[in-house]
Amino acid sequence: MMAAVYAAENGIHPLLIEKNEKAGKKIYITGKGRCNLTNACGLNEFLANVPVNPRFLYSALHLLSPDDMMAWMERWGCPVKVERGRRVFPVSDKASDVTKTLQSALNFYSVPTMLHHTADKLVMENGKITGVMMTDGIVLSAKAVLIATGGISYPATGSTGDGYRLAAQAGHTVIPPQPALVPLETKETWCAGLMGLSLENVRLSAICKGKKIYDELGEMLFTHFGISGPLVLELSCHLRGIKLSDLQVFIDLKPGLSEKQTEDRLLRELTAGGAKQIKTILETMLPRRLAEIFPSLCDVPAEKTASQISSEERKRITDHLKGLPLTILRTRSAEEAIITSGGVDVRQVNPSTMASRLVPNLFFAGEVLDVNAHTGGYNLQIAFSTGALAGLSAAQLILS
């Protein structure tokens, strides 16, 4: 939608093809229905939140930065506000207002949208694109084609990976798409017993073959299949190219205390606890539900009293408080993933224009590209900025 607005604003007559009954359907479910449309941070912080191919975005973010995006929304009649973590939302708290705003801009420039139509094939002649064929056989001729079909996550919103097939048809390499910003399934079945328990202020770290690939403080959640919540979703963005069987994940339940301080604290609680059961002692240090099962996780009989805990057992409890180990079996499926990792290889796309390096009149924008970011409004901003640059560049090509 943003690409079509920029193309029209720059003097050409784009046609938007959309398989759904309306354009921008995914936006309705973003930000829990409130749409966290961007992040009001500076360029460096923005790029630090893009684990895959951040440098590809310089030109796009230069053309349409988060500040520009906020101003753009206001200009088109949708006031925005900045919340915790510089996350930007419409003042109305309604994601539908973001879709409506994009649609108003399209209406202003009289951009037609062909709804209920699915682009099936690129029509090519002598290495250039001459049009697009729909699944119903209609062929539309075009001077340029822009693929902004999204990834494979939440396919019910229309993003079913069609763009990967279209890109491959034009000779593009597609990095295998995988779910990202997605919950993780664990081998440990005790997680299911803690379903709904949220841990605030813990440190989640992940090690692959001795190398730390993730280490952050924050919040996470136990679910019926394993783990979820902000830290876990973010960790899932860092699993690219990693064999899950090589991955070791740890929860530091006492990130504010060193190992020694944790052991000293436990010793104090045990000394004061005397005849109390170990799980009761642990309730002073952990949420009650976790404290109840914690002795068994540390291989300590739950019925033991504080005074019966041996120094080896105390050490095991300390080790688990500072690094509760988890084994990740798999990510949840694309149906539950907020974004897709992988996509059109950015080495074959010009970052200054979003044009294909293989086919001169083919452009890409948004999640179909192999770029992805953490939660916080970054992914939509990437879609808006790459869309703006691709739309502008397509207009310039056609008018040149």
Ligand X SMILES: Cc1cc2nc3c(=O)[nH]c(=O)nc-3n(C[C@H](O)[C@H](O)[C@H](O)COP(=O)(O)OP(=O)(O)OC[C@H]3O[C@@H](n4cnc5c(N)ncnc54)[C@H](O)[C@@H]3O)c2cc1C
| Per-residue tokens: 249 | 């994940």
Q: Strand locations in 305-354, DSSP E?
A: 324-326, 328-331, 339-344
Selected binder of ligand X within 8, 12, 18, 239 (CB under 6 A): 18
Phi, psi of 185 (to 5 degrees): -90, 135
Q: Report the site for ligand X in 364-393 (rule: CB under 6 A).
A: 366-367, 377-380, 383
Residues 6+ apart with CB under 8 A from 133: 119, 120, 121, 122, 123, 139
Quote the distance between the C-alpha of residue 194 and its chain's center.
25
> Which of the stretches 22-30, 279-287, 342-350, 353-361 binds ligand X when contact is defined by CB under 6 A?
22-30
61 lies in the site for ligand X, by CB under 6 A: no
169 lies in the site for ligand X, by CB under 6 A: no
How does strand 113-114 pair with strand 16-17? parallel
Give the burial class of 226: count Cβ atoms within 10 A of its Cβ; 0-12 exposed, 13-18 middle, 19 or more buried. Answer: buried
Selected binder of ligand X within 5, 7, 14, 25 (CB under 6 A): 25
113 lies in the site for ligand X, by CB under 6 A: no
Rg (CA), the chain: 25
205 lies in the site for ligand X, by CB under 6 A: no
Q: Which is nearer to ligand X, 226 or 343 (CB)?
A: 343
Closest among 160, 341, 327 to 241, alpha carbons compared: 341
One-letter amino acid for residue 234 of the chain: E
Binding mask 31-60 for ligand X (x = CB under 6 A): x---xx------------------------
Selected binder of ligand X within 148, 202, 208, 326 (CB under 6 A): 148
Binding mask 323-352 for ligand X (x = CB under 6 A): ---------------xx-------------
263 lies in the site for ligand X, by CB under 6 A: no
| Per-residue tokens: 247 | 């991955």
Binding site for ligand X (CB under 6 A): 17-20, 23, 25-26, 29-31, 35-36, 118-119, 148-150, 153-154, 158-159, 162, 338-339, 366-367, 377-380, 383
